[in-house]
Structure 1
């Protein structure tokens, strides 16, 4: 368990964890040894002169004080180590997620990452703070007490030690019997979390369909699965709990019978028997707690396993000797890319000279957005090469590549902060005048002027307090502030009203000026102003050329243009 924890966190955290374990072990040993002083204490108290017990009581008090100090220091070390580990794992987890390819973030990952980043990480990190100490004391203190029993009477010590392999076997058996149930419960938890998110996101659709009071069947089924899995987990752990309690009680009974037999035979005194029974009773409490502690540790171990699996997911490789692009031209050379079993792009080749504009059009599912993602290296191609300035993007460092590219997506996500903070994401070190100039160029200043809090207006999670057009203006202002030489646009005006479309279009024109641009677009005036147009269908370039040239050919693009013109006229 500790080894897995250190694998997840890295070797930098090995020292505080080992120090904490050593302190907890020392405190547990001192606790067990302090109980050994009960034997001379009881022997003196039951003798002719009870006053002889005073030195032993003093020694017992000193031992208890030493234990209290060690326990305090070990618990404090555990809390400090736990806080450091929690901070470390969150940083490592967040940094690793930021480096994973965008393709890794499928729909099935939403619930998994949500559970891991919240409850999963906290549960895994509670091992150090809340579970490690009780587990060490539950194991070490009874063993120390058994060693003390051996010192006073080997027969009583041997009888107590006989329970150790039985307790170990029960714990191992419990771990195996509950492993499958725990894994199923965690999987059901992950699915239920995903369903809850889906239910919340589906509210507009459900309400539009008149299903405002109807229960969401998929969510109900998922919650029922969680309840059934939780019941199976409890039932699978029940035999171990009962078996452990029975073993501890049987051990205590055996010691009682053996002690009585030895005392009646004159082999040991009544004081020794009483003291050993007190020691046995002190063994019982921590041993009985092993069942509950073991269950919690298995749950934490499962979360650590899932966390380790995510951390082992390989990010896109960084070049050993990064190259710098010569210019800002773009080229795709016989690019093949598959998503799962589906080939999205198949042998696609095209080029965009520096400072020119390429519009990519075509039917839904043709691979247009995927083409933009490959240019930004959100994925690595399966075949061929994507080049920026004549250099394969796999030979350019991620930081260098992203510094040269500004991306404006159709669906804009804003962080829960102010408008100014979201614009500054484009270039955090920009001055106030530069932020205002970028906002004015994107016509975002019109939005800011009519908001009560102005630039300090909170946008809400995802930008929920702004309209779609207002979010697009923030996104364009962010891209303008970044001032990157390459711009990728993904249908940024497809779902806007005429007023916002006009404002956003003006901002986009300023953004594209003098830059290398690849835009996925459906709006006619956007497509017409491109230097070249590529019609993409089935992962291949069906046609490529200028607007007028493609219209004269009368091919796929001409059909698309005529249909779009007719639809607009209506």
Structure 2
């Protein structure tokens, strides 16, 4: 486990951790050696001249004071290093997560990471501050005491040392038994948590359909599974805890019987026997605590293993010698991209000149949004190349690439802060006048004026206090403030009402002016204004050209256009009067 802990901590914290371990071990050894002074103390107290014990008592008090200082330094260092490591690990985990491919974040992974970044990281890092010192003390101090006993009487020392392999075997067996159920417990906890969230979020639908009782049975079954796994886990640990207690008591009894026999035979004196029994009793307490400490360590180890797995996930590689794009055009050269077993993009080749607009249309699942994600290097292609300004995006530094690209998604996520905080994400160093200008261009100032608190109004987690159109205006203002030469738009008006769509569309037009634009679009007027249109189907380019050229072809795009017009007319309804 120590090896895994040092690997998770990385080079920055591995050396302080090693010093902490050395200090904790030194304190545990000092505690064991301290009890060696009990032998001369008790020998003199029970001898003919009890006053002769005074120098030994002074030596014992001095040694105890030294041990106390060492233990204080050890514990304080453990807490300090633990706090520093926890803070550093949050930064390390956050930095690593920010570099992982977007495709790594599937639905199940997001929930797992959120638990790991909260309770999991606290549990894993609590090892340093709260568990290592007692564990080392419970392991090293009894061994040191047994060595002291061996120095005074080899028979009693060997009897005490006989417990060591048995205790180690019990701990190893318990760890394996617990590990067999720990993965299942984690999975059941995750399933139950997801079921609870699902049950709460689905209340309107379930109640409308009269299915709330059925859903409750599913939730109840998930919770029963958690209970069953917890029971099995407890039963798997129980034999080890009982076995450890019986072993320690048996060894103590054996030392007591052997000591009594040696004393009766004249092999040792009464003071030595009494000291050996005190030492044996002092060995028993920490050994018995190993069961509880070991259980906590095993729980923390499982969290460490999950943290280690996340940190071991390889991020997208950075170029050793990054190059700069020469212009603001983009191109796809025989690009193929697979997600699992499915080929999402298949041999796509197209080019957008600087300052031109490309519209990508097609049925759901055709790979339209994936093209934008490949261009922003959320993923790396499996074959071919995606180029920005003539340079392969894999050869461009990530910060340089993202500085040249502004992305506006259909689903906008806002952070729980003010509107101004969210707009400033586009360019944190922008002046107040620049923020206001971007907001005005996106027609966000209309939203600000009617909100209580104006620019200081909080948007709620995810932007929950704003409507979809209002969130989209914040996103457009953010992109305008960034002032990137390349703009990626992903169906930004597909779910908006006509009033919001008109406002957002006006902001989009200002955002696209003079920039290279690649947009995934369904709205007719957005598609028509594109200089070049690509119809994507099953990851391949079925047709491409201008709007008029594609209509003349009477192919897939023309059929799509007619369906879109018919849907728009049906939504408008018959003329009034």
Is TM (by shorter chain) over 0.5?
yes
**Aligned counterparts of 1:567 and 1:462: Cα–Cα separation in 2:** 32
Corresponding residue for residue 308 of structure 1: 308
**Aligned counterparts of 2:453 and 2:443: Cα–Cα separation in 1:** 17
Query: Does residue 34 in structure 1 map to residue 29 in structure 2?
Result: no
Alignment deviations for residues 382-439 of structure 1 (CA, whole Å, 9 cap, x no partner): 1121111121111111111111110000000011111111100000111110000000
Corresponding residue for residue 407 of structure 1: 407
Q: What TM-score do you get using the length of structure 2 for normalisation?
A: 0.96
- Cα offset for 1:317? 1.1
Unmatched tracts of structure 1, length 5 or more? none
Q: Is the 8 A contact 1:111 1:193 kept in 2?
A: no
Q: Is the 8 A contact 1:115 1:190 kept in 2?
A: no
Corresponding residue for residue 240 of structure 1: 240
**Aligned counterparts of 2:280 and 2:164: Cα–Cα separation in 1:** 13
Of 5-14 and 438-447, more deviation after overlay is shown by 5-14
**Aligned counterparts of 1:535 and 1:208: Cα–Cα separation in 2:** 40
Corresponding residue for residue 366 of structure 1: 366
Query: Does residue 261 in structure 1 map to residue 269 in structure 2?
Result: no
- Cα offset for 1:199? 3.9
**Aligned counterparts of 2:430 and 2:543: Cα–Cα separation in 1:** 42
Q: Is the 8 A contact 1:124 1:304 kept in 2?
A: yes
Aligned pairs for 1:459-498 (under 5 A) are 459-498=459-498
Size of the aligned set, in residue pairs, is: 570
Q: Is the 8 A contact 1:110 1:194 kept in 2?
A: no
Q: CA RMSD in A?
A: 1.6
What secondary structure sits across from 1:322 in the alignment? coil
Q: Is the 8 A contact 1:115 1:193 kept in 2?
A: no
> Structure 1 residues 445 and 560 mapped into 2: Cα distance closer, same or farther (>3 Å)?
same
Corresponding residue for residue 60 of structure 2: 60
Alignment deviations for residues 457-500 of structure 1 (CA, whole Å, 9 cap, x no partner): 11111111111111101000000000001101011111111111
- Cα offset for 1:214? 5.8
Corresponding residue for residue 516 of structure 1: 516
Alignment deviations for residues 229-271 of structure 1 (CA, whole Å, 9 cap, x no partner): 2222111111111111111000110011011111111111112
- Cα offset for 1:25? 1.4
> Structure 1 residues 489 and 205 mapped into 2: Cα distance closer, same or farther (>3 Å)?
farther
> Structure 1 residues 505 and 340 mapped into 2: Cα distance closer, same or farther (>3 Å)?
same
**Aligned counterparts of 2:83 and 2:204: Cα–Cα separation in 1:** 41
Q: What TM-score do you get using the length of structure 1 for normalisation?
A: 0.97
**Aligned counterparts of 1:97 and 1:74: Cα–Cα separation in 2:** 33
**Aligned counterparts of 1:196 and 1:535: Cα–Cα separation in 2:** 42
- Cα offset for 1:225? 2.5
**Aligned counterparts of 1:432 and 1:214: Cα–Cα separation in 2:** 54
- Cα offset for 1:210? 4.7
Q: Is the 8 A contact 2:476 2:508 kept in 1?
A: yes
- Cα offset for 1:98? 0.4
Unmatched tracts of structure 2, length 5 or more? 571-577
What secondary structure sits across from 1:427 in the alignment? coil
Corresponding residue for residue 455 of structure 1: 455
- Cα offset for 1:142? 0.5
Corresponding residue for residue 124 of structure 1: 124
Query: Does residue 73 in structure 1 map to residue 98 in structure 2?
Result: no
Q: Is the 8 A contact 1:533 1:544 kept in 2?
A: yes
Of 63-72 and 123-132, more deviation after overlay is shown by 63-72
**Aligned counterparts of 1:25 and 1:338: Cα–Cα separation in 2:** 52
What secondary structure sits across from 2:172 in the alignment? helix
Aligned pairs for 1:320-335 (under 5 A) are 320-335=320-335
Query: Does residue 533 in structure 1 map to residue 530 in structure 2?
Result: no
Alignment deviations for residues 184-220 of structure 1 (CA, whole Å, 9 cap, x no partner): 2123233333444444544454455455666445543
Query: Does residue 547 in structure 1 map to residue 547 in structure 2?
Result: yes
